[in-house]
């Protein structure tokens, strides 16, 4: 069942799918409708979604109604369909997403290392940690300085 973000506790499960590009304004209504339809069809699951920075699709799932393996597979299949339909990558969580001014960028790790070397990013650059697990972590640890992330050893 589709619920509001506020209804879910800090222990709710978070799944983040970073887009390989920014979602275009013309795409957003269709994507939001697809996300709404999918979330409403998940019987017995309290779930909500957020579109962050027009680039990240975030699902938040109540810890009281966790996804079964079958439902998780449905979710991944749904995300794969979004990838095909909108010609973007959402399932690659290894790339580095970071803020450059008001923009969110995505780079492969070797390219991010080049940015470090050329001083295009610093230890203070805000990066996104897609491996967080809970709503609490999403609210408090998703956006952090690179020096506090797994990328710190590159500096």
Q: Does residue 93 register a pLDDT over 80? A: no
pLDDT at 146 over 80: yes
Residues 46-57, mean pLDDT to the nearest whole number: 96
- The pLDDT of residue 119 is 92
Q: What is the pLDDT of residue 11?
A: 97
Average pLDDT, the chain: 94
CA 30 to chain centre: 18
CA dist list (Å): 56 to 1, 19, 83, 140: 21, 6, 12, 17
Region 26-46 average pLDDT:
95
Where does the pLDDT of residue 43 fall: very low under 50, low under 70, confident under 90, or very high at 90 and above? Answer: confident
Check whether 47 has a pLDDT greater than 90: yes
Place of tokens 């050893």: 153
What three-state secondary structure class fits 80?
Answer: helix
- Tokens read off for 23: 């979602």
Are 74 and 67 within 8 A, CB to CB?
A: no
- Tell me: the pLDDT tens digits for 124-141? 999 999 889 999 999 999
Residue whose token pair is 């810890």: 63
Task: From residue 67, give the alpha-carbon distance in Å to each of 10, 61, 146, 149.
Answer: 17, 8, 31, 28
């Amino acid at each position: 069942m589709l619920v509001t973000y506020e209804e879910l506790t800090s222990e709710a499960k978070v799944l983040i799918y970073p887009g390989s590009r920014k979602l275009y304004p013309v795409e957003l209504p269709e994507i939001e409708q697809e996300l709404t339809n999918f979330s409403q069809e998940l019987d017995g699951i309290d779930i909500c979604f957020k579109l962050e920075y027009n680039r990240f699709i975030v699902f938040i799932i109540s810890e009281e109604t966790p996804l079964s393996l079958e439902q998780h597979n449905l979710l991944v299949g749904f995300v794969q369909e979004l990838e095909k339909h909108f010609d973007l990558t959402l399932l690659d969580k290894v790339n580095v997403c970071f803020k450059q001014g008001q923009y969110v960028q995505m780079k492969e790790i070797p390219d991010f290392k080049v940015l470090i070397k050329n001083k295009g990013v610093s230890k203070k650059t805000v990066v996104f940690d897609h491996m967080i697990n809970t709503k609490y972590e999403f609210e408090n640890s998703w956006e952090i300085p690179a020096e506090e992330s797994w990328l710190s050893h590159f500096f």
